[in-house]
Structure 1
Amino acid sequence: MIHTPKPWLSILIPVYNVEAYLRECLESVVQQIAPGVEIIVLDDCSTDSSHQLLKEFAEDSIVPITILRHEYNRGLSAARNTLLDNARGDYVWFLDSDDALHPGAIAELQQITRQYLPDLVLCDFRVWREQQRWKHLWRGENHTATFSGSKQKLLTDPLKLFEGIYKERNLHIWSKISKRSLWGTDLRFPEGRVMEDMVVTPRLALRVQTYFYQPSVWVAYRQREGSILASSSQKKIDDMSIACAGVLDLWLQHYPQLSRRARFYFSYFCVKTHICVARDMRSLHKNPAPDLSVYRARFFEHIGWGKRELFREYLKRGWLLRLKRFVQEY
């Protein structure tokens, strides 16, 4: 048996029906690969040519690529769980197969992990559109932050981690490179559900003792028709409406001193989520108008505040227009 040294990084790529984008994704990784990095790709029973393209790419690649395949389609969460179970690296980096890594991202990450050995590294991303318009540039989509807090230094305050993640409201797992040991055997993505990053990221962050925010664009996040986030369904609505369940209670159990400011940023994230739920419900169920009472009750259960207390936090910040938008959707 040939012994291969343990890699310092595992790049984990789940694949399902992405033949139009897969090569670009793989090339973005392979072109900057270095010794000590393993690439593991899992095909979740694609019905297009993704699996054949993947095999051909791996055969032609001078960089080894491990290919896994599910026996039947099990969804993104299950695909990521299988990839995680097969990862050998000290760090794991999930990358969606329609996205791409920016040049130099791996080298920059390696420098950080060698110097600081953080449990978690957070990076920024850009929104990748087929047609970028001025409004997208105005929104700052060429460089989107994932964390609000100190940059380029080793941090140890878990309360600031919670606050900084929720203030920016970007919980994507692909912008957070973590030590494999944080996951253990008990933390996994919820199989059969979408919006899984909203469930997993705060629970992963709860295990972090040291972290490092690098405000560099490392990921190109593709916006495309047909993706989970770009489409509406009753399942997506229901999964979204429960994605924040238990998060605040779990953090308060460990850190009862969590500030009101941090709690408000979490609550505002839940507000934005609830607005999406309400809009999608009204879009799917126009006649008769949908009953949102169950979703409203879940929302207030998640944030642990009543209507009056939440509105007071809006007013303290002078967020009158934002409060008006919430009330209109509420």
Structure 2
Amino acid sequence: MSSDASGHGARQPSTWLSVLVPAHNAEPYLEECLGSIVSNVRQLPEDAASAIEILALDDASTDGSRRIIEEFRSRFPETISIIEQARSDGVSAARNSLIAQAQGDYIWFIDADDVMAPGAMVGLFDAVSRGGPDYIMCDYATFSNEPAAGSERVRKPTFKGPSNVLFEDRSAALSGLFEMGALHPWSKIHRRSLYANTLTFPLGRIYEDVLVMPLLAARAQSFFHVPQTWVLHRKHPGSLIGSKSVKIAEDKCFALVTLAAQLEKEGDHLSRGSRSAFHYFMGRHLRVVFKQLVRSDDPERAKETYRTCSMILNSAPVSIEGRVRTSLIRRGRLGKLAGLILWRRRAQKRFTSHGRFEPPKH
């Protein structure tokens, strides 16, 4: 990795926000993305706008992504800086590199194929000015490769709980996040200090946000949810989440079990309701994992992944599956419980020699 310092020389000494844009072969979308961020910065008062940095990381792109970043940097040299990685090691490595270079009090990740909605930065500055929360959540909308200024889109909430008010109940924050299940990094703006040089995105993993975003919330002292669309999230076949690779199943298992172990360490610091919300969230994802494996068109790789997922689940320090089942029963989600058992049974029948279903451990 190398950092192009030419954009850093004019950086303000007290940067309040770092907008971090990892870009790997994002040429079709990158100009629209960076343009939307710059337009938002221009809507701020001069003193607030001058204390923002935009860090764009060229993650070993082989298309025109670097050219687009260079063009924006030449137009806005006091705001935009370039980080370059000679080899792409995945989105987690890119995010870690950006965090290491960031100087802002707050961090906001924007994916290179997404768009920052008009007025989002003004809304964020207002939220920060109202008490300086550690962890800010916004809502979003999706679109599919049409121009960002297209038709009306439905706002998708990311949090179930109090809105437009500063609150300090960590259990309520985690519970509200898990209830909605929207843990993507671009709908969360948080203090850079929460990483504390001890928390990083897991290298080589997809669904890295499922692990890191709740752990950041577990470190925060204050929270703020804004029920407004600040990000327009692009859906397209080339995205990682759009992929049906069985690797997604393994990485999701890894994230869920690792998160379960970390939350278990919180012990009495988290309410019973927040733990139940997590186990409900986990049950929904485990059902998808087993369904994904059963329906894979690569049975040999799916079998290997099933064995890995089983080992990951069995390595958990607590009885995860028993708690998942209890949470689903207490919530009256018997249909979801039946779905989880059904797809787990089908996976075991397909990928094990004996074909017997072993019920979740308690």
Query: TM exceeds 0.5?
Result: yes
Q: Give the match for residue 64 of structure 1.
A: 79
Q: Is the 8 A contact 2:11 2:79 kept in 1?
A: no
Equivalent of residue 107 in structure 1, options 97, 102, 122: 122
Counterpart CA distance in 1 for 2:52 and 2:308 is 46
Q: Give the match for residue 179 of structure 1.
A: 191
Q: Deviations over 1:85-137 (max 9, x none)?
A: 11111111011100111111111111111121111111111122247xxxxx9
Counterpart CA distance in 1 for 2:228 and 2:301 is 47
Q: Give the match for residue 138 of structure 2.
A: 123
Q: Deviations over 1:10-34 (max 9, x none)?
A: 1000000111110110111001112
Q: How is 1:283-322 mapped onto 2 (pairs within 5 angstroms)?
A: 283-286=296-299, 290=303, 292=306, 295-296=309-310, 298-299=312-313, 304-305=318-319, 310-322=324-336
TM-score, normalised with respect to structure 2: 0.81
- Gaps of at least 5 residues in structure 1 are 132-136
Counterpart of 1:270 in structure 2: which amino acid? M
Q: Is the 8 A contact 1:123 1:176 kept in 2?
A: yes
Q: Verify: 1:252 aligned to 2:252, yes or no.
A: no
Counterpart CA distance in 1 for 2:284 and 2:251 is 15
Moved more, 310-319 or 28-37: 310-319
Any idea what SS the aligned residue of 2:268 has?
coil
Any idea what SS the aligned residue of 1:170 has?
coil
Q: Verify: 1:16 aligned to 2:19, yes or no.
A: no
Any idea what SS the aligned residue of 2:14 has?
coil
What fraction of aligned residue pairs are identical, expressed as a percent? 33
Q: Verify: 1:49 aligned to 2:64, yes or no.
A: yes
Counterpart of 1:249 in structure 2: which amino acid? A
Q: How is 1:89-168 mapped onto 2 (pairs within 5 angstroms)?
A: 89-130=104-145, 142-168=154-180
Cα distance change, pair 312–239 in 1 and its aligned pair in 2 (3 A): closer
Any idea what SS the aligned residue of 1:31 has?
helix
Counterpart CA distance in 2 for 1:308 and 1:88 is 43
Q: Is the 8 A contact 1:274 1:295 kept in 2?
A: no
Q: Give the match for residue 338 of structure 2.
A: 324
Q: Give the match for residue 237 of structure 2.
A: 225
TM-score, normalised with respect to structure 1: 0.89
Counterpart of 1:264 in structure 2: which amino acid? S
Counterpart of 2:190 in structure 1: which amino acid? S
Cα distance change, pair 308–210 in 1 and its aligned pair in 2 (3 A): closer
> How many residues were matched structurally?
324
Q: Is the 8 A contact 1:274 1:296 kept in 2?
A: no
Counterpart CA distance in 1 for 2:277 and 2:11 is 48
Cα distance change, pair 37–297 in 1 and its aligned pair in 2 (3 A): same
Counterpart CA distance in 2 for 1:303 and 1:156 is 29
Q: Is the 8 A contact 1:274 1:299 kept in 2?
A: no
Counterpart CA distance in 1 for 2:10 and 2:209 is 36
CA RMSD of aligned residues (A): 2.7
Counterpart CA distance in 2 for 1:105 and 1:167 is 24
- Gaps of at least 5 residues in structure 2 are 1-8, 42-48, 345-362
Q: Deviations over 1:177-205 (max 9, x none)?
A: 11111112121111222211112112211
Cα distance change, pair 293–66 in 1 and its aligned pair in 2 (3 A): closer
Moved over 6 A (4+): none
Q: Is the 8 A contact 2:160 2:180 kept in 1?
A: yes
